Amino acid sequence: MHLPLLPALLIATIALSPLMARAQSGPRPAQVGPRFFGARPGSLVEAKKRIAAGDKDLEPAFKKLIRDADKALAETPPSVMEKTKLPPSRDKHDYISLAPYFWPDPSKSDGLPYIRKDGKTNPDSKLPEQNDVPRLTLMAKSVESLALAYYFTGKQEYAAHAAKFIRTWFLDAGTHMNPNFKFSQAVMGENDGRAEGILEARHLAIAADALGLLAGSEAWKPADQQAMDKWLTTFVHWLMTSPTGREEHNARNNHGTWADVTTVRLALCLNRPDIAAKLLKAAQRERIGVQIEKDGSQPLELARTASFSYCWFNIEALSELANLGDHAGVNLWAYTGTGGRGLRRAYEYMLPYVDVPAQDWPHEQIKEKKEQDYLPLLRMAALAYSSSDMEGILEKHTEWQNQRFLLLFVK
């Protein structure tokens, strides 16, 4: 079943035609602080001011960031050329990955076609020889850590290495990735790639966004940004117009939400708030209004074998959309649909199961619950809703003060 979101995408696609001229030569709007859409507006400026003043509350989070950035300094920037398996195109510049929840069919001599085991990850989908996703994830995490560290410290070595990661992955002739996800999350014996693989592109958007933190550095020149804008423009056009991209945007569950996150974040990076706003306004009705029930439950995620994890995964996507909306002038946090359906209600449904002590989760959950999946979200929502209850639950958890999200969402 397709959501009625597609017409909004087509409208946005029409608006995309003059994108390159505007992205390369048009002035970007005035920005308070650095251009980084992964943080709450104003938080990075406030965090930098407090750290400079010796704020002890933010010190552990800052030290964690610097440890991560120093670790990234020791990493060699990866590229899609490192895999040994060739994509169906025979072009190693094309990104490839295997569907994580598909396994060889034991009833077939060759195991083909693979069969689905929801929530059970086939280790072959993590092998760097056959998958680009481990390298993409490393690249994105490293760029974000290095770029944030550069913003807070001004040390050029962080900016220079972040730029090296970006050039290797996106721009250099010998190592660049082609701007598409045609061969992502393939199912062996069934297809060469699936729309679901676009989920992995959220990492790509993180790296692209983090480049805004390098503004003014010696390592990232206007010509570099123009080349990056050209790559991103081609990718966003593919994401919005290809059958694969349109199918993923039309997904009803977390896949559709994350497709919105990726497209909106990249549109903002390309100075196209008009495209971002159209998708965000559509998400109020077609994501929040459709995915969340009156009691705050998410039936499409509760149907999964790791239902607790997937409920939070979709809340994470919706919260990232809401934070992007704060940058684009569209309020998703406060949106209320039929019967009171809203993002806040989805949080309230989940709170008893992350409190300390937590109630037992009454649905199927075959994976271990991880605090890293929901602690940042509690802070985001606590700030958005001025909720002492959510903040109180966050503070009951150990180690919460050592997490980097405190720099991005400052209380």
Q: How confident is the model at residue 1 (pLDDT cuts 50, 70, 90)?
A: very low
User: At CB < 8 A and 24+ separation, what contacts does 82-87 make?
Assistant: 82/128, 82/135, 83/128, 83/129, 83/130, 83/131, 83/132, 84/129, 84/130, 85/129, 85/130, 87/183, 87/192
pLDDT in tens, 394-411: 999 998 999 999 999 999
pTM across the whole model:
0.94
Q: What is the C-alpha R_g of the chain?
A: 21
Question: Distance (Å, rounded) from C-alpha 314 to C-alpha 316?
Answer: 5
For the cut 90, the answer to whether the pLDDT of residue 38 exceeds it is: yes
Quick one: pLDDT at residue 33? 76
Residues 117 and 103: beta-carbon distance below 8 Å: yes
353-371: average pLDDT: 97
The model's pLDDT over 196-232, given as tens digits with 9 standing for 90+, comes to 999 999 999 999 999 999 998 999 999 999 999 999 9
C-alpha to C-alpha distance for 303 and 263, rounded to whole angstroms:
26
Q: For the domain made up of 75-250, give the CATH fold.
A: Glycosyltransferase (1.50.10)
- For residue 24, the model assigns a pLDDT of 42
Least trusted range by pLDDT, from 13-27, 37-51, 77-91 = 13-27
d(CA 259, CA 277): 15
Please tell me the distance from the alpha carbon of residue 72 to that of residue 66, in angstroms, as a whole number.
Answer: 10
pLDDT band at residue 31 using 50, 70 and 90 as cut-offs: low
pLDDT at 273: 95
pLDDT over 80 (residue 305): yes
Domain boundaries, the chain: 75-250
Q: What is the pLDDT of residues 88-114, one digit of tens each?
A: 999 999 999 999 999 999 999 999 999
Of 85 and 7, which is predicted with more confidence?
A: 85
